[in-house]
Amino acid sequence: MTTRELEIIKAALEGDVIAQKKSEKLEHPAFQDWLNDSEKLLKKVSRKLFEQKARKSLIDNGWKRK
C-alpha cells in the first residue's frame, strides 16, 4: 500500500472514530465493539504509515544497512 493510500485511510478512520464518539448509540455494546475495533485499526494504520515514512526518509537521506 502506498503512503498516500495509508494517509487517506488514516484520515477516514480518524473522522469515523470522532463521529462514533459523538454518536447517540455510544452506549450500545455492539457499537462499543465497533469503536474499539476502529481505534485498533487506526493505531495499526498509523504505525504502518509512520514506519513507511521513516523508511522512505532513511532511504532519501542515504542511510544504508551495514
**What is the value of pTM for the model shown?**
0.83
Specify whether the CB–CB gap between 11 and 5 falls below 8 A. Answer: no
| pLDDT tens digits for range 4-45 | 999 999 999 999 999 999 999 999 999 999 999 999 999 999
CB atoms within 10 A of CB 55: 12
Cα–Cα dist 15/51, whole Å? 22
| pLDDT tens digits for range 34-43 | 999 999 999 9
